[in-house]
Amino acid sequence: MMDYPLSGLKVLDFSRVLSGPFAGRMLSDLGAEVVKVEPPEGDVTRHWGRVIGGVPGYYHQQNAGKRNICLDLRAEGAVQLVCDLVAQADILIENYRPDVMQRLGIGYETLQAINPRLIMLSISGFGHQGAELRRPAYAPVVHAEIGLLHRHAERNAAPYSDLPLSVADTNASLHGLVGILAAVILRERTGLGQHIDIAMVDATTATDDQLQYDLEDSHDTAPLPNAVWDSPLGPVLLSTDFRLLWKLLTSGQGVVDPTTVDMTLAEKIATRKLVAQAFFRELTNGEHFSRVMSEMNIAWGLVRDPVDIRDQTSIHERGSIVQIDDRAGGTRPITQSPYRFSAAKSGVRRPAPHRGEHNQAVLADWLAMGASDVTELLKRGVLQFDAALLDA
């Protein structure tokens, strides 16, 4: 484990669904010991995806590599147990609404007094200050509020609809991860931890590379949108402005411009696009198409069904999808850590845990608790576990 960059760091992950769990998953892939602290009702993502070995697919993807204790924060003695764990922790992740941790008696001020070196990441929809701090938010809400749905519909001349991935969650998670690592470095200089307030609206706005055109009403200065064309390989996206593409087709590929001076600009563009599409359809095979794109130095991508993502050359060669233990005598696919180091390791290390699977192991490792202590906490309802799965 010393080959992993974050080996030795201890993380308590109180978060649910995606924005927090994804950050915890990446910390685990980088070598940190991440303990998911799950409520008795379980993370809602335990209801999403194909269930194999008692673990649903969505939960599996975001929580692989972690250990798990199941803790009822409302039970008498639960807060004290959290405080004891926090005294040993380096990092805590949570994505409750901004007032929840404080109401439970484990807000940052309380935990900082116990462990001044604690780094606490709080992810919420609208941040920990302001009129909307208690407003519930999931990624689609943020996508709507910050204009992504409007832009998506306008550019595609389509009805409003959500994006096909949770951009607001993953942006917040990755910016939260950056904040955590910055705080770890700062702690080496100061000895003090931090409370990091990450709002999904901030993280996604900061990561929106198209927003400046909206802020300055300057979409007319932007390149034309990338277009998808028919080709011998199937539909492909060409990452280029059509104006440049047309110039390259007419100057180097023998395409003749059929437009006339009396045409309107819209008519010229429509006509030229029809000619360009005919040119691509007449290419004899995929190799011919690839050679023409190379001659014009145009980047392109096959519009691929994600079901076939493992067939993509780089995904396959880089091991971006790997097989790990499925807890049922076989293996199942999972996304691999994207970090590739020259002289260090990273990557998913074990399957996702069952609820309360590591109650005894974690409390023994972190707090030197014996089996009788854990049994007493189970009797009092502080700790719980999924007996059907763990006894199987």
d(CA 144, CA 131): 18
Phi and psi based region of residue 134 (left: phi greater than 0; alpha: psi -120 to 50; beta: remaining): alpha
This prediction's pTM: 0.93
Measured distance CA(80)–CA(325) in Å, rounded? 35
Domains in the chain (CATH in brackets) are 10-210+318-390 (3.40.50.10540), 226-306 (no CATH)
C-alpha 127: how far from chain center: 19
Strand partners, 198: 123
Tell me if residue 221 falls in helix, strand or coil.
helix
Q: What is the pLDDT of residue 387?
A: 87
Quote the longest CA-to-CA distance of the chain. Answer: 90
pLDDT number for residue 125: 96
- By annotation, the residues acting in catalysis are 169
Helix 359-367 to helix 371-379 angle (10° resolution) is 120
User: Is the Cβ–Cβ distance between 141 and 125 less than 8 Å?
Assistant: yes
Q: What is the pLDDT of residue 392?
A: 54
- Block mean pLDDT (10 aa), the chain, length 392: 92 97 98 97 96 97 98 96 98 95 95 98 95 92 97 93 96 98 98 98 97 94 91 96 95 96 94 96 94 97 96 96 96 96 96 97 97 96 90 62
Region label for 194, one of left (φ > 0), alpha (ψ between -120 and 50) or beta (otherwise): beta
